[in-house]
Amino acid sequence: MNKIHVGLIFGGRSGEHEVSIRGAESVREALGHGRYAVQDFYISKDGKWQPRPLLPEPGANPGLDVVFPLLHGTFGEDGTIQGLLELAELPYVGAGVLGSALSMDKAVMKRLCAASGLPVVEHIVIERDAVHTGYIPALPFAFPVFVKPANLGSSVGITKAKDSAGLREALELAARFDRKIVIERGIQGREFECSVLDGRPPRAAIPCEIFPSREFYDYEDKYLLNQARIELPARLDVEQTEEIRRLAAACFCAVECEGMARVDFLMESETGKIYINEINTIPGFTSISMFARMWEHSGVSFPELLDTLIELAMERGAARRQLSYSR
């Protein structure tokens, strides 16, 4: 049987460079069961591409059947690499240009979810230019608040502000990373994640709960401290579990996602209300990443998960080839 030639693109310019490398190692190992031939495409932190042929034939260039982007955050999940792959007419795993861009922009994602009747935390959006003039918005909700760059991953540039002075500092930090800034009402409560796979309709895995070791699940807690605790399955009743799964699939559809995603949630302690927080179109694939672990708990092994994602990508690629782009 002819092997499926898979290109892994990893590394990249975002703060999750090392996480991307570890994810590629996990995927490469899992794909090494005979059905696939894998070729690496490493992107350095300064954006240089370094193809690394791993195919057994020395100097062979058999071409690629499908690409598996494992780039996170900026230039990985924002539609940039997806647009390049579209131009190259290469099928690829994960969301397309539109779904990637919509999901990456927290302000637009929340607007689309709200328009679909899905619960998102109260928030306002301001422009970086306003911050540079010293403008401090009047908040329609009380402190504390979370201040976030609209387009960035890894919790980079996010601050919890507890008063006006803290808000000013938080806005200045966020303005370093994006032209658009989201200010959200601070939710006191619990944090959950839920994996989603494409389908008709999309299907959601059993959710997990995140227990941060710091005041919130920030960059250090995610990638440096290794002290956050994760509980799978999350301690929820049946109704709560099914509500998170329903909302995860609905969010996936609202932002026109494809392939896969991990949706993050907040549950307010005082009211018990569940809010959609973010959607990640290229979740982590390391040995400790929760996207695959949630599916494994739901009965889908890691190799089976990768098979499904590659099949979905190739089906979507075949459907695109049926389209006409001129008269």
What would the DSSP string read from start to end of 85-145? HHHTT--BSS--HHHHHHHH-HHHHHHHHHHTT--B--EEEEEHHHHHTT--PPPSSPSPE
Q: What gap in Å lies between CA 211 and CA 160, rounded to an integer? A: 17
Q: Is the pLDDT of residue 60 over 50?
A: no
**89 and 199 assigned to the same domain:** no
Q: Which of 16, 77, 178, 209 is catalytic?
A: 16
Note whether residue 327 is domain-resident. Answer: no
Active site residue 61: no
Identify the pLDDT of residue 219.
61
Q: What is the mean pLDDT of residues 161-173?
A: 95
One-letter amino acid identity for 185? Answer: R
Question: Is residue 193 a contact partner of residue 262, using CB atoms and an 8 Å limit?
Answer: yes
Confidence band for 159, pLDDT divided at 50, 70 and 90: very high
| % of the chain residues with pLDDT over 90 | 77
Q: Which of 20, 26, 103, 154 is catalytic?
A: 154
| Nearest of 10, 66, 12, 9 to residue 37 by alpha carbon | 66
The string of pLDDT tens digits covering residues 267-291 is 999 999 999 999 999 999 987 789 9
The one-letter amino acid at 85? L
Report the CATH number at residue 36. 3.40.50.20
Q: CATH code at 258?
A: 3.30.470.20
Overall domain count for the chain: 3
pTM (2 decimals)? 0.91
Give the span between the Cα atoms of 175 and 110, in whole angstroms.
20
- 128 domain residue, yes or no: yes
Together in a domain, 53 and 69: yes
Q: How many angstroms separate the CA atoms of 94 and 70, rounded?
A: 10
Q: State yes or no: is 16 an active-site residue.
A: yes
Per-residue pLDDT averaged across 169-192, rounded? 95
Domain-located, residue 307: no
Rounded mean pLDDT, 44-56: 75
Please name which of 62, 63, 66, 64 lies closest in space to residue 92, comparing C-alpha atoms. Answer: 66
